[in-house]
């Protein structure tokens, strides 16, 4: 549970069960030395009457509405500090819940984030021209558009086949939308630009640097919107056509995708090594060629982004026990890989939308179709729709040390292996 809360922006948070009993608190305002009345299973109504929160007069009704799926948000200004509150129902993956918690994955999250008014207050707002007001209005509608595109609760309600999977996969959506470059950066740069405006009659002048910041963040936000729209289509569509493909043709398809990514490989001076498979033309699998191209591209780019400069990415093809296996192997020095307990289903977190081990986003890979960490979630969905399985883990094959004699073999890195598994026909 702590790992779930650590992914949220800096603030104060409390997690309640569906019976509105306190399970966990996090944040400076909830320090036990300051509010000693907190104890195990404190109810939500007593929680709101605690010394830190009583002055805000937040109605307990909002907790009851959150249990029914309604979200509460408000902003309260006190002495130049804006206190932003939120109460909403959330789904937390089972692997992030300790044994002392309820078996249910549905909880109520209370959030309290504080902002300095000086950081967000626009000077002379009443002098903003009509066009500027429309720009601000557009940003508000853009955020709403993104929320509508990825209205997961609505989609989950319509569909049954992937309902359980999607409930587990989407706990961090709202947080991720506002992090880093893109929508959050666009809103911030718009605010900075508005503050720098010089108005003369019906003409306004802004510094070129402010305009460039808005332009850069707008391009990323547009990519974000497109990614969410395309991702939604992939999540919704399951009934695409499968065709009987020769395994040798599948190997050639993977090679063609690798050749098409030469410019992406050049970014970090990497290369891709693809194995051969004896008698590959004797085996057949049922796959969708277009979907296979999409998932192969995503796996290659994901491996490029999280591998060191100058390394080889490896693809191995295997036939075993009436199964056709494709293994994508890459070295990674990412912190946290070695600590993941893949044997106890922690690997499932890698397939959650917006999940990242590294919070730094590398936007140089313009052939990446799905932004914001959506790629592996889409890959998993495609594989399962084609009747296959996907596994992720770390291995010690020795291939980089004993076969490739890589200069990175002496370094502190793990061999990450993603395995795709399909039935032979």
Q: Show me where the domains of the chain are located.
A: 1-118, 122-236, 243-423
Q: How far is 172 from 175, CA to CA, in rounded Å?
A: 6
Q: According to the per-residue pLDDT averaged within each range, which of 78-87, 112-121, 277-286, 349-358 is highest?
A: 277-286
DSSP string computed for 297-347: HHHHHHHHHTS-TTPEEEEEEEEETTEEEEEEEEEE--TTTTT--GGGTGG
CATH, range 1-118: 3.30.450
More confident residue, 209 or 4: 209
More confident residue, 164 or 394: 394
Residues 6 or more apart whose CB falls under 8 angstroms from that of 87 comprise: 62, 63, 65, 66, 71, 72, 108, 109, 110, 111
Q: pLDDT category, 247, cuts 50, 70, 90?
A: very high
Position 391 scores a pLDDT of 85
β-sheet bridge partners, residue 243: 287
Question: pLDDT, tens digit, for every residue of 130-176?
Answer: 445 555 555 555 555 555 544 544 544 444 444 444 444 444 454 45
Residue 189, exposed/middle/buried by CB under 10 A (0-12, 13-18, 19+)? buried
Residue 63, exposed/middle/buried by CB under 10 A (0-12, 13-18, 19+)? buried
Position 244 scores a pLDDT of 94
Q: pLDDT category, 254, cuts 50, 70, 90?
A: very high
Q: How far is 368 from 355, CA to CA, in rounded Å?
A: 16
Q: How far is residue 267 from each of residues 10, 261, 359, 364, 366, measured CA to CA in Å?
A: 33, 10, 20, 8, 11
Q: pLDDT category, 249, cuts 50, 70, 90?
A: very high
Tell me the percentage of the chain whose pLDDT exceeds 70.
62
Position 234 scores a pLDDT of 78
Q: According to the per-residue pLDDT averaged within each range, which of 69-73, 221-225, 232-236 is highest?
A: 69-73
Judged against a pLDDT cut of 60, whether residue 84 lies above it is answered with: yes
Stretch among 9-23, 113-127, 203-217, 249-263 having the lowest mean pLDDT: 113-127
Fold of the CATH domain 243-423: Heat Shock Protein 90 (3.30.565)
Reduced to 3 states (helix: H, G, I; strand: E, B; else coil), residue 180 is coil
Question: pLDDT, tens digit, for every residue of 359-388?
Answer: 455 667 777 777 666 778 788 888 988 999
Beta strands in 20-80 (DSSP E): 22-26, 72-78
8 Å CB contact between 149 and 229: yes
Q: How far is 213 from 345, CA to CA, in rounded Å?
A: 41
Same fold, 1-118 and 243-423: no
Position 122 scores a pLDDT of 44
More confident residue, 333 or 67: 67
Q: In what order do the strands lie in the sheet with 323-332?
A: 271-274, 312-320, 323-332, 414-423, 389-395
Position 152 scores a pLDDT of 45
Beta strands in 22-140 (DSSP E): 22-26, 72-78, 81-91, 106-116
Position 163 scores a pLDDT of 45
Question: pLDDT, tens digit, for every residue of 398-411?
Answer: 666 555 556 654 45
Position 258 scores a pLDDT of 94
Q: How far is 154 from 169, CA to CA, in rounded Å?
A: 15
Question: pLDDT, tens digit, for every residue of 177-232?
Answer: 555 555 666 667 777 778 778 888 888 888 888 787 777 777 777 777 777 777 77
Mean pLDDT for 23-41 is 63
Position 7 scores a pLDDT of 54
Look up tokens 């986003």; give the residue.
361
Position 147 scores a pLDDT of 52
Q: Which residues of 35-60 are buried (b: 16+ CB within 10 A; e: fewer)?
A: eeebeeebebeebbebebbeeeebeb
Q: How far is 245 from 250, CA to CA, in rounded Å?
A: 7
Q: According to the per-residue pLDDT averaged within each range, which of 14-18, 43-47, 272-276 is highest?
A: 272-276
Judged against a pLDDT cut of 90, whether residue 425 lies above it is answered with: no
Mode of pairing for the β-strands spanning 271-274 and 312-320 = parallel
Q: What is the residue-averaged pLDDT of the chain?
A: 73
Question: pLDDT, tens digit, for every residue of 305-351?
Answer: 888 888 889 899 999 888 999 999 888 766 656 555 555 444 455 55
Q: How far is 300 from 328, CA to CA, in rounded Å?
A: 8
pTM of the model: 0.53
Closest of 50, 10, 54 to residue 30, by C-alpha? 50
Residues 6 or more apart whose CB falls under 8 angstroms from that of 72 comprise: 62, 65, 66, 85, 86, 87, 88
Residue 116 CB coordination number (10 Å): 10
Judged against a pLDDT cut of 80, whether residue 75 lies above it is answered with: yes
């Amino acid at each position: 549970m702590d790992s779930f809360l650590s992914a949220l922006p800096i603030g104060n948070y409390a997690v309640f069960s569906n019976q509105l009993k306190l399970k966990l608190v996090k944040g400076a305002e909830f320090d036990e030395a300051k509010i000693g009345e907190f104890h195990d299973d404190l109810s939500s109504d007593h929680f709101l009457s605690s010394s830190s929160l009583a002055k805000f007069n937040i109605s307990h009704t909002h907790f009851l509405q959150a249990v029914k799926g309604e979200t509460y948000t408000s902003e309260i200004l006190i002495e130049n500090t804006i206190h932003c509150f939120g109460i909403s129902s959330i789904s937390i993956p089972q692997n992030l819940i300790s044994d002392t918690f309820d078996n249910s994955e549905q909880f109520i999250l209370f959030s309290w984030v504080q902002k300095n008014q000086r950081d967000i207050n626009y000077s002379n707002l009443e002098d903003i021209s009509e066009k500027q007001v429309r720009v601000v209005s557009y940003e508000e509608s853009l955020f709403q558009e993104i929320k509508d595109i990825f209205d997961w609760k609505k989609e989950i309600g319509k569909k049954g086949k992937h309902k359980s999977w999607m409930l587990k996969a989407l706990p961090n959506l709202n947080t991720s939308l506002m992090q880093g470059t893109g929508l959050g950066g666009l809103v911030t740069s718009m605010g900075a630009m508005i503050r720098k405006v010089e108005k003369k009659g019906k003409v306004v002048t802004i510094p070129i640097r402010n305009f460039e910041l808005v332009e850069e963040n707008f391009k990323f936000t547009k990519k974000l919107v497109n990614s969410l729209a395309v991702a939604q289509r992939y999540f919704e569509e399951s009934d695409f056509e499968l065709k009987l493909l020769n395994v040798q043709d599948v190997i050639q398809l993977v090679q063609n995708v690798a050749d098409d990514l030469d410019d992406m490989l050049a970014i970090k001076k990497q290369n891709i090594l693809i194995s051969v498979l004896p008698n590959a033309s004797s085996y057949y699998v049922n796959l969708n060629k277009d979907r296979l191209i999409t998932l192969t591209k995503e796996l290659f780019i994901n491996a490029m982004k999280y591998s060191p400069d100058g390394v080889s990415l490896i693809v191995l093809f295997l036939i075993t026990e009436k199964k056709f296996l494709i293994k994508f192997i890459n070295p990674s020095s990412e912190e946290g890989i070695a600590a993941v307990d893949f044997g106890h289903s922690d690997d499932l977190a890698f397939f959650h939308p917006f999940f990242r081990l590294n919070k730094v986003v590398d936007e140089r890979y313009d052939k990446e179709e799905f932004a914001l960490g959506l790629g592996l979630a889409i890959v998993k969905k495609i594989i399962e729709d084609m009747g296959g399985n996907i596994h992720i883990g770390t291995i010690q094959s020795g291939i980089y040390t004993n076969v490739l004699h890589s200069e990175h073999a002496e370094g502190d890195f793990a061999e990450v292996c993603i395995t795709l598994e399909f039935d032979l026909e």
